[in-house]
Amino acid sequence: MKIWRYDAARGERALKEYEFDAPEWATLLDCLDIVKDQIDGTLSYRKSCRMMICGSCGMRMDGAAVLACKTRMYEIAEAGHVPTISAMGNLPIVKDLVVDMNPFWQKFHAMKPYLQPGYERPDDDREYRISQERMNVIHKESLCINCGCCVSECNAMESDPEFLGPQALAKGMRFVGDPRDGATVERLEQYSSEHGIWDCTRCYFCNERCPKGVDPRDAIAKLGAEAIRVGIDRDMGAKHAKWFVHSAKSTGWLRETELVPKTQGVVSAISQMKFAMSLARKGKVPPPFPPHAARDVKESRALHDLVSEQGRDGALGIVQGERALGRIEFAKEHGEEEREE
Ligand code: SF4
Ligand code: SF4
Ligand code: FES
């Protein structure tokens, strides 16, 4: 394997290649141990549990974040591929594969990751019981082991290091979705501020790279839905989302022409008129009036009303990515055609 070696103290960086034998069951972490034990004792990396629980061994393999102790190497070696190992992204490198986790923990602490007092205690003074349905909403968020793999691959953090990021926001949802927490609105206010919920670019890399199935992007979607549910919708991102719903319900389409004034306000929209006119000249803007309604718009409205009747607003209305994908995979496996309804 190749490993990017780096020494922040000296500012030296070098890609070194190592060749060694390893048992068939070896993980990436086992391989690093072999390199350190047998070839170069100065190699630095973090580890502890060796069983995907402590979150210490996050790093990149071929440019994508992985947990070293979860990554089996046999098939990679069999294929003749020489993987390149490097430190996680979006965090300063201290040495070799060790990053400075302080910025990560600062954001974690900023979320106040513990239950806030203020909830009513049950009358019988026994434990506070939560329904399974409510617990399902935060089940995945509770699985986070703070490894930082999602943060490593976050596009929004790359362009804005102050963005709270997928791990911190997923942790925030773990408490926003907990009915015992007494600070739901305060949390949603905080998370809806600049560098918060609405700065996520929805690239979904955090979902893709999380080794524990937390799906942080889904958590951020739930936070957005909860913020709108309690009326915290001042951010353009929230206005954008609300317009999507209104537009889909009223016409069955996403009416892009009205998206900018509805999201940014009329004054800001006027400042973009020149750009809009150039799009219109190239035939990219359909005439706004009369609004074009889809032929089967009644179905779109019926779907909206059904979801409203079910009371699935806020986080309860977010379709979990894994379940949606699971259903698609199931349909494919069983040769089911896409259903028209
Ligand atoms: S979906 Fe959002 S939070 Fe997740 S990696 Fe992309 S920008 Fe970051
Ligand atoms: S959300 Fe997933 S990738 Fe991110 S820190 Fe938690 S366990 Fe790691
Ligand atoms: S060593 Fe603990 S998660 Fe890998």
Which ranges in the chain are annotated with CATH 3.10.20.30?
2-99
Strands 84-86 and 2-7: parallel
| Residue among 236, 274, 276, 271 at smallest CA distance from 256 | 276
279 or 59: which leads in pLDDT: 59
Closest ligand to the CA of 104: 2
CA distance 233 to 224: 9
pLDDT > 60? residue 321? no
Neighbours of 237 (CB within 10 A): 20
Q: Which atom of ligand 1 is nearest to the CA of 165?
A: 3
Q: Which of 230, 144, 219, 217 is nearest to 184 (CA)?
A: 230
| Average pLDDT over all residues of the chain | 89
pLDDT of 319 strictly over 80: no
| Pocket lining: 327 vs ligand 1, CB cutoff 6 Å | no
**149 Cα nearest atom in ligand 2:** 3
- How far does residue 141's CA lie from ligand 2's centre (Å)? 9
Q: Please state whether the peptide bond connecting residue 290 to the residue before it is cis, i.e. omega within 30 degrees of 0.
A: yes
Q: What is the distance of C-alpha 141 from the center of its chain?
A: 11
Long-range contacts formed by 253-257: CB under 8 A, 24+ apart? 253/292, 253/293, 253/294, 255/288, 255/291, 255/292, 256/285, 257/285, 257/286, 257/287, 257/288
**83: which 2 tokens?**
């993987």
Q: Which mutation among 49, 146, 209, 218 tests ligand 2's pocket best, with the greatest number of atoms within 8 A of CB?
A: 146
Q: Which pLDDT tens digit goes with each residue over 289-310?
A: 677 788 999 999 998 898 888 8
**What are the pLDDT digits (tens) for 186-196?**
999 999 999 99
Q: Whose alpha carbon is nearest atom 4 of ligand 1?
A: 206
Contact 6, 12 (CB under 8 A): yes
Instruction: Decide if 213 contacts 258 (C-beta within 8 A).
Output: no
Structure confidence at residue 85 as a pLDDT band (50, 70, 90): very high
Distance in angstroms (rounded) separating the CA atoms of residues 102 and 9 = 17
Q: Where in the chain is the domain with CATH 1.10.1060.10?
A: 102-234+319-333
**Nearest-angstrom CA–CA distance, 213 and 257:** 37
| Atom nearest to 155 CA in ligand 1 | 7
Could you read off the pLDDT of 232-267 as tens digits, one per residue? Answer: 999 988 998 888 888 889 899 887 777 777 777 766
pTM of the model: 0.87
Quote the CA–CA distance of 7 and 10 in Å, as a whole number: 6
- What string of H, E and C letters represents the secondary structure of 58-115? EEEECCEEEEHHHCECHHHHHCCCCCEEECCCCCCEEECCEECCHHHHHHHHHCCCCC
**Pocket lining: 154 vs ligand 1, CB cutoff 6 Å:** yes
pLDDT surpasses 50 at 339: no
Residue 200 in contact with ligand 1 by CB distance below 6 A: yes
CATH number of the domain at 102-234+319-333, please? Answer: 1.10.1060.10
Q: What does the pLDDT average to over 133-161?
A: 94
- How remote is the CA of residue 329 from the centroid of ligand 2, in Å? 24
CA atoms in the 13 A half-sphere facing the CB of 283: 0
233 touches 188 (CB < 8 A): no
Point out the ligand 3 atom lying closest to the alpha carbon of residue 58.
4
- Give residue 338's pLDDT band: very low, low, confident or very high (50, 70, 90): very low
Cα–Cα distance measured from residue 253 to residue 255, given in angstroms and rounded to the nearest whole number:
6
Homologous superfamily assigned to 2-99: Beta-grasp domain (3.10.20.30)
